[in-house]
Amino acid sequence: MNNRLKKINYNHSFIFFLVCNIFSLIAFKFNTLKISPFFCLLLILSIGISHGSLDNLKGKKLFQIFKVKKFYIFYLAYILIAIMVIILWILVPYVSLIIFLVVASFHFGKEDTQFLIVENSYYNQFLFLLKGSLIVFAPMYFHFEETISIFKLLFIENENFYNFLDLIESKKILLYCIILSTLANILLFTKNFELKKFTIFLDYFSIIIINYYFSPLVAFTIYFCFLHSVRHSISLMSELDRDDLGNGFKIFVKKALPLTVITAIFCTIGLYLLNNTYNLESSILKIIFIGLASLTFPHILLEYLIEKNEK
């Protein structure tokens, strides 16, 4: 089954790589090509969010391990953690942003690679962090000013924070960070080499390409929805039906739809409320990044607890 999943993910990465090249050429040829933030939000609220919409099933598995019968506690805890993240973001936004970027880098690096890497050593986890950091450093390197503009729309007003970013940009430190991420990809690729691990480089070049040609928001949306979320969803489908991926897809859609719709409704309400104070684009960016941060922390904590206790 593991080899089958590797093959599926390799084919997915190859198709994603080709599509990224095609759309990048279109964007280069027709530089007037614009993708609105609202369209990015729709993609994230549908394809992107859905890959975490089976967390309730994982929560049931975790509660069975702990022998907790009152399952409503899971929903309360999940929502409480999400609300706490939002409150902390409002109180200490630049600290919350830094923590989120570090945690997200590790999460992206691990989730996008762990189907290829069996050993879960501290060394591999460090490589996952460096690999996933490309999602953070690539937009900053290719579109520094646009990335800073997004940070400012996320309540980040600390001047020392921006002075530090200006320093690392002027000293070419961002380039060195990308080189470190590249090295991590190479080390993960060469360790216990097999041809299907070329997936790592297909993903690496896809991320570089979309960040070079597209704005930070569009590049992140393409990556998050069509690489990270689709890959995670494929692994969930294979768990739901180990023999028939097509049937696994049907089960996944049925089970993921309720929480996806509920999350989308809450985000729509949040967008409406924010739009009373901020313009539409600013409101959308707040919903996307602060909203994702509030969902990412309980999602990662749940994954960690299941992984630790199943062992």
CB 252 within 8 Å of CB 237: yes
pLDDT at 91 over 60: yes
pLDDT digits (tens, 9 = 90+) for 143-186: 999 999 999 999 998 899 999 999 999 989 999 999 999 999 99
In a domain, 206, yes or no: yes
In a domain, 68, yes or no: yes
Q: How many helices (H) and strands (E) does the chain have?
A: 16, 0
Q: pTM for the complete prediction?
A: 0.94
Query: Which residue is listed with tokens 């060394």?
Result: 123
Whole-number average pLDDT of the chain? 92
In a domain, 240, yes or no: yes
* Percent of the chain residues past pLDDT 90, beyond the cut: 78
pLDDT at 118 over 80: no
pLDDT at 111 over 70: yes
Q: What is the pLDDT of residue 194?
A: 81
Q: What is the pLDDT of residue 32?
A: 59
In a domain, 14, yes or no: yes
pLDDT digits (tens, 9 = 90+) for 263-291: 999 999 999 999 999 999 999 999 999 99
Q: Which of the 8 DSSP states describes residue 196?
A: G
CB 34 within 8 Å of CB 218: no
* Percent of the chain residues past pLDDT 70, beyond the cut: 99
d(CA 19, CA 13): 10
pLDDT at 207 over 90: yes
pLDDT digits (tens, 9 = 90+) for 4-63: 888 899 999 999 999 999 988 888 877 756 789 999 999 999 999 998 899 999 999 999
Measured in degrees and rounded to the nearest 5, phi and psi for residue 155 equal 75, 15
pLDDT band at 114 (very low <50, low <70, confident <90, very high): confident
d(CA 177, CA 172): 9
In a domain, 289, yes or no: yes
CB 287 within 8 Å of CB 267: yes
CA 289, chain centre distance (Å): 10
In a domain, 29, yes or no: no
Domain that holds residue 259: 2-19+37-299
d(CA 241, CA 229): 18
Residues 119-125 have a mean pLDDT of 89
pLDDT at 311 over 70: no
d(CA 238, CA 255): 14
In a domain, 281, yes or no: yes
CB 54 within 8 Å of CB 258: no
Q: What is the pLDDT of residue 104?
A: 95
pLDDT digits (tens, 9 = 90+) for 240-256: 988 888 999 999 999 99
d(CA 225, CA 229): 5
Query: 243 exposed, middle or buried (CB, 10 Å; 0-12, 13-18, 19+)?
Result: exposed
CA 47, chain centre distance (Å): 12
- The total number of structural domains that make up the chain: 1
In a domain, 51, yes or no: yes
